[in-house]
Chains A and B, each alone.
Chain A
Amino acid sequence: MSTDSIATFNVDMASRPLVAKLHEWVTTVDHKRLGLLYIVYSFIFLLIAGIEATVIRIQLIRPHNNFVSPDVFNRMFTMHGTTMIFFVVMPMLFGFANYLVPLMIGARDMAFPRLNAFSFWLTAFGGILLYFSFLGANGLYGAGNAPDVGWFAYAPLTSKTFSLGHSTDFWTLSLLVSGFGSIGTAINIIATILCMRCPGMTLGKMPLLAWLNLIMAVLVILAISPLSAAQIMLLVDRYLGGHFFDTQAGGSAVMWMHFFWIFGHPEVYVLVLPAFAFASEIIPVFSRKAIFGYPVMVAATVCIAFIAMSVWAHHMFTVGMSANANTFFVLSTMAIAVPTGIKIFNWLATMWGGKIHFKTPMLFSIAFLFQFLIAGLTGIMLSAAPFNWHLGNSYFVVAHFHYVIVGAILFMTFAAFYYWFPKMFGKMYIETLGKLHFWLFLIGFHLTFDFMHIPGLLGMPRRIYTYEPGRGWDTLNLIVTIGVFFQAAAIVVFVANLLWSYFRGETAGSDPWDAWTLEWSTSSPPPVYNFAVIPEVRSRRPLWDRKHPEDPDWKYE
């Protein structure tokens, strides 16, 4: 990059025709642009999957409802789950990792910029492929449409016999394609963090966000690969007439469950570790204190990743396993609560005695702490096999994991949006609208997911199309659905806030939060080259050192 194009970068952008600008975005290998592409792409899918959730909830608003047909209902919960996990949360977190990791470790770009672009487009086409099934999946039999086998697609539902047409093929292929994209991104994140850190930034001085994303990437490699292997087996079964999951020929349906959940449970930590990463950056800045117990936070993260690889079969207590297997998975699942609890205490200790600024990112972070705690507690309840036999596949489980994914991950993602929005676009969001978004979403979230636990306890199974009146589920389901509309209203406020701020917002400046990590040392939005001079750091809070040369951190670390 020559100095001329650096100086004229922003001017160029404004004056070029639309086609040229689009061409730049499509062919870009810049980590910031790919990060934004990931984020925008996943946000579009968030809206789509949110609409699908709304359809599910309207169908369940009262007994004997006929808002959609049973077939459509099956497609809705399958597409909602698949989209949210693979095409919303993962790309959203990859987007933030892409955008932030090089900036935070003082690098020019990711380790493999072209692999980065390739991975994004694989993920993007995976999502498009999944949704193309609405048009293209009818197949020769005229059967099927969008996938309707549930997001974990248990055998033998996915066999040719029970899934005519191509809906399951679309599901498999789209996850395979986007899975390769995820593996590519994970390789890139690891190589970036291990090889591209600026001088002075030892592993022990990295921002926690980089640490947590490093561990997340390791988990992606260990978790997504088994999923890809299982998808290949499913393709062999469906296209070549193989018998991996074909019980008629001696195959095993339980095999698929194991393979899926060997992916499925580490995946939860793939999703939640970046949320922890956001919390570990945002909570200290708005408490005006350095993070409490940095080495313990890192150790707890590594610990979580280790245990995460050995808890998968707690999704299968109701399938029926041996007593030894049950005991092992009960204990390992309970054990993972320990490092997670350590993290919660560390965040609380960071806030303790701090000068807390209740800005929107901090509000979302505080809600995250409480909600993640409750999600963890219901998780411990479900980890006890006897309790799980009673409540497995009930709405209690649905409420539990939505508490994790919405109450913890989505809340922290909103916090990250508000926290880094000024950095990404150079504009400040509107604080009042941010707070309105927070309170609306908080009310909606608790109406929906607090009350969703109770029908589960009362015996309402997940994925049912409708239910009989008079089982004590009616009012609760009504309240759950009402909560959805609060959440939808909050999302409208959120989008309005971002759009308004993007076009009309006040200029934010390079460091609106008086923060301490390297991304705030460059302009907002950062120039293509990130740093005019590669920074050199001596502590975990390089900007603190620079702002307070009389009392730098490196004297104490």
Chain B
Amino acid sequence: MSAPPATISHANMTLASDADVSREAPSRGRVGMYCLISAESAIFTIFVVAYLFYIGKSLTGPMPKDVLHVPIFFTVCLLSSSLTIHFAVKSLKSAKIGPFALWWFLTLTLGAIFLAGTAREWRHLIYDEGLTIQTNLFGTTYYSLVGLHAFHVTVGLLAITTVLLFTLLGYVKHEHAERVDVLALYWHFVDAVWVVVFTVVYVIGR
């Protein structure tokens, strides 16, 4: 409810400077990102509901309790990347480009480690356990839900890599802190979704 005080003394329309507009309004980028996150949350909700609904309904094996191992190390990596991206944005906001680049690179590394972990887990499931997306309902829902999340991690990593390249080329400045912050918001969302996916797949579903 951004109600600017009535600064004019008559009812006619008068010139308003850009400063007036930007002072009152919330940031477009943040609002847009929050909306995108809401839409993505709705998509994930449907996949999570499907996963929960189909737990224990597979007609053939392998079953989750036989083949799934809790990926604690990779989860820690992904969740810590939320912390590193937070420090990165904080550095950029106080115009410290060097620490920003370092924290940002760390975020990229942690995210990439997580993605490699998913790849390794899938390789194990497919080649050692014989579980594919066609095998049973567990396979269908597992690869869809975890794959949807991995897809979002990939998109996030591509965006983070782009920003890192721009940083190394010297284009990222203090004034981009707001935009980088919006990207960080997305990354936090990806991490938060993993908490849900982790709980559903590795705790409830096992």
CB within 8 Å of B: which residues of A? Answer: 111-112, 115, 183, 186-188, 190-191, 194-200, 202-204, 221-222, 224-226, 228-230, 232-233, 236-237, 240-244, 249-252, 255, 259, 262, 521, 533-538, 542, 545-546, 549, 552, 554
Contact = CB atoms under 8 A, between A and B. Distances in A.
Contact of A255 (B8, B32, B50, B58): B50
Contacts of B32: 111-112, 115, 187-188, 190-191
Given A229-B43, A250-B137, A533 B13 contact: yes
Interface SS of chain A = helix
Given A226-B45, A226-B46, A250-B137, A542 B25 contact: no
B72 interface: no
B28 A195 contact: yes
Given A197-B2, A229-B46, 20 more contacts: A190-B31, A191-B32, A198-B16, A202-B4, A222-B38, A222-B42, A225-B41, A226-B45, A226-B46, A229-B42, A236-B144, A237-B140, A241-B134, A242-B144, A244-B144, A262-B46, A533-B14, A534-B16, A537-B13, A545-B11
A533 to B, nearest CB: 5
Contacts of A187: 32, 35-36, 39
Contacts of A251: 54, 137, 140
Contact of A202 (B3, B15, B26): B3
Nearest to A240: B133
A542 B13 CA distance: 9
Nearest to B147: A236
A482 B61 CA distance: 59
A236 B133 contact: yes
A249 B59 contact: yes
A241 B133 contact: yes
Contacts of B4: 199-200, 202
Nearest to B27: A195
B136 interface: yes
B11 A196 contact: no
A233 B147 CA distance: 12
A226 B50 CA distance: 11
B121 interface: no
Interface string B19-35: 01100111110011001
30 contacts: A111-B28, A187-B39, A195-B25, A195-B27, A196-B25, A198-B16, A199-B16, A221-B42, A222-B38, A225-B43, A226-B43, A226-B45, A229-B43, A229-B46, A230-B46, A232-B144, A236-B133, A241-B134, A242-B133, A243-B140, A244-B50, A250-B58, A250-B137, A255-B53, A262-B46, A533-B15, A538-B8, A542-B13, A549-B12, A552-B11
Nearest to A230: B46
Interface string B53-81: 11001110000000000000000000000
Could you say which of A232, A236, A249 has the most chain B C-beta atoms within 10 Å of its C-beta? A249
A236 B26 contact: no
Contacts of B38: 221-222
Contacts of B50: 233, 244, 255, 259
Interface of B: 1-4, 6-8, 10-16, 20-21, 24-28, 31-32, 35-36, 38-47, 50, 53-54, 57-59, 133-134, 136-137, 140-141, 144, 148
A194 B30 CA distance: 11
Contacts of B44: 229
A66 B47 CA distance: 44
B9 to A, nearest CB: 11
B133 to A, nearest CB: 5
Given A226-B46, A229-B46, A191 B137 contact: no
A255 B134 CA distance: 18
Nearest to A251: B137
B1 A202 contact: yes
Given A225-B39, A252-B53, A546-B13, A536 B140 contact: no
Contacts of A536: 8, 13-14, 16
Contacts of A521: 13
B160 to A, nearest CB: 21
Which 8 A-B residue pairings sit nearest by Cβ, starting from the closest?
A225-B42, A229-B46, A241-B134, A242-B140, A187-B35, A202-B3, A535-B13, A199-B16
Contacts of B39: 183, 186-187, 221, 224-225
Contact of B31 (A183, A194, A537): A194
Contacts of B35: 186-187, 190-191, 221
A194 B39 CA distance: 17
B3 to A, nearest CB: 4
Nearest to A229: B46
Contacts of A197: 2, 25
Contacts of A202: 1-4
B137 A194 contact: no
Contacts of B36: 183, 187
Nearest to A189: B35
B133 A546 contact: no
Contacts of A198: 16, 21
A397 B61 CA distance: 43
Nearest to B57: A250
Nearest to B18: A534
Of A187, A200, A230, the most chain B CB neighbours within 10 A belong to A200
A468 to B, nearest CB: 42
A557 to B, nearest CB: 12
Given A186-B35, A200-B4, A249 B136 contact: yes
A292 to B, nearest CB: 23
A115 B28 CA distance: 13
Nearest to B60: A249
| B4, B11, B28, most chain A CB atoms within 10 A | B11
A471 to B, nearest CB: 41
A236 B3 CA distance: 48
B31 A195 contact: yes
Given A190-B35, A202-B2, A233-B50, A534 B27 contact: no
Contacts of B13: 521, 533, 535-537, 542, 546
Contacts of A549: 10-12
A34 to B, nearest CB: 17
B26 A243 contact: no
Contacts of B136: 243, 249-250
Contacts of A241: 133-134
A224 B117 CA distance: 32
B42 to A, nearest CB: 3
A250 B46 contact: no
A10 to B, nearest CB: 24
A228 B41 CA distance: 12
Given A240-B134, A255-B50, A546-B11, A250 B59 contact: yes
